[in-house]
Structures are given as C-alpha cells and as structure tokens.
Amino acid sequence: MRVLVVEDNPELALLLTRGLKSASFDTDHLNSAIAAREALAVTRYAALILDLGLPDGDGLAILRELRARKDPIPVLVLTARGGVNDRVIGLRAGADDYLVKPFSFEELVARLEALLRRPGQLLGKALQLSNIVFDTESHQMFVDGKPRILSARELVVLELLLRRKGSVVSKKHLEDQIFGLEGDVGSNAVEVYVHRLRKQLADIGALVKISTVRGVGYIMTGDD
C-alpha cells in the first residue's frame, strides 16, 4: 500500500519514510507543494501525510483543492500548528486526522491504520478468497493454512486484487501502488508481476484465477 509523504524537513522525512517502510507501507516523499500537486494529479495513493508549512505554499491549499474536486484520499495532517483553532481549520478544510509535531511515530502509524480501516478504505486485517488467506499485518500469505512465500511486489499485486476481489483493478492503479514515483518503469512491468503471481499461485495450489480485462486491468475470482 503506497502512501505519499509531503514534508520539507529532510531529517523528519527520512524518519517517516523509513518508519513507514518498517510498518509495511511503501512511500513516496516530496518536499514542495508544486511537486505534491503534480504527483496527486497522476498517481493514486492509499493515503497522504501532509505537512502544512511547505516552502512554496500552504498545505491547506492542497487539502482544499483535493476536497473541491471530490478526491476521497485519506489525509493525515502532520504539522507544528497545534492550536485549537489550527486544528479546527485543518479538519474543516478536509483533513481526516490531525497530528501535531513533535509526535510519537507509533501513534502516527496507528492513526494511519485507523484511517485506512474506515468503510470504503483499503485496510483490513485478513483477506480471504477460496483457499487463500492474506494477513495484512504480517504480510504473509497462507494457502490451505500453510504459509507461502512471494516476493514483495507479488504480495502488493496479490493484496490489491484481493481487496477488490470480483472487481476489475486497473493497470494504472496497480502501477501506481507498485512503483509510485519510481522512474524508468517499463510499459509491461505490471504484466510481468501479474504473470509471475499467476504462476506462483498455480504452483502452490491456490484456488483462484486472475483474469485479464483487455485494455482495462485485472480481476481475481475464486476458482473452487
């Protein structure tokens, strides 16, 4: 699950990206309002962690723009503005949660997980289809109750397809979540990982099917 961190303090940004990675989140980091706007326009993130005091603008403006165009992305504001009025303004501008610096990293992760557990969001503790169970906390897959090993990116594809089982997941969404802002992503990179996942699942006896919807994306269904 990929999260965008918009924070201009390089030391704090490094702490956030490393910590979120250890908590099983993939992250992209940007340090300006302009770069954040560009990324949010082309990439679909699971959540946004947003500093308000950016060098080229106020994060509140980004937040208001997201809500004005009905973008439902969960937004956790992370800022030094700790007054009651500041919190009220941030929440009314569209923030889903508001955390004041300095903060506990464990609390930040807990708040982020809580946002993603809300109805319509992405986080659930266990995902199951046919004889597959995927534990989103340990990032481990079980087939017929036995743990099975997949690569990190294969697990990302599996999780995204399981979360929308029976529905089409677009190639663009898969690409955003697997690669984010990484450069030099090949045009067939998503197809490669889907192909690998199909083969792995077949080899370990998973009773699921990944179908290609030409020109759109992929869908996972039970095959038992």
Q: Is residue 101 part of a domain?
A: yes
145-146-149 Cα angle (round to 5): 130
- Domain membership flag for residue 121: no
Domain identity same for 149 and 104: no
- Asked if residue 109 belongs to a domain, the reply is yes
pLDDT at 29 over 90: yes
CA distances from 8 to 28, 57, 58 (A): 13, 11, 12
Query: 86 and 188: one domain?
Result: no
Check whether 61 has a pLDDT greater than 70.
yes
Q: Is 185 inside a domain boundary?
A: yes
Q: Is the per-residue pLDDT at 9 higher than 80?
A: yes
**C-alpha distance from residue 136 to each of 47, 79, 133, 165 (Å):** 16, 28, 10, 15
The CATH number assigned to the domain holding 18 equals: 3.40.50.2300
Task: Specify the CATH number for the domain of residue 189.
Answer: 1.10.10.10
Q: Is the pLDDT of residue 154 over 80?
A: yes
How many residues make up the chain in this entry?
224
Considering 92, 116, 140, which residue would you say is the last residue of a domain? Answer: 116
**CA dist., res. 121 & res. 123, Å (int):** 6
Q: Poorest-confidence range of 43-52, 66-75, 126-135, 184-193?
A: 184-193
- Encode burial over 177-204: b for 16+ CB neighbours within 10 A, e otherwise: bbbbbeeeeeeebbeebbeebbebbeeb
Is residue 66 located within the same domain as residue 132? no
Residue 97 belongs to what domain range?
2-116
- How many distinct structural domains can be found in the chain? 2
Q: What mean pLDDT is predicted for residues 181-195? A: 79
| pLDDT at residue number 185 | 65
Q: Are residues 110 and 189 in the same domain?
A: no
- Please, which pLDDT band fits residue 125 given cuts at 50, 70 and 90? low
Domain shared by 174 and 215, yes or no: yes
Residues 7 and 92 occupy one common structural domain? yes
Question: Does residue 152 share a domain with residue 83?
Answer: no
Residues 81-88 have a mean pLDDT of 91
In angstroms, the Cα distances linking 130 to 127, 141, 143, 207 are 10, 13, 9, 6
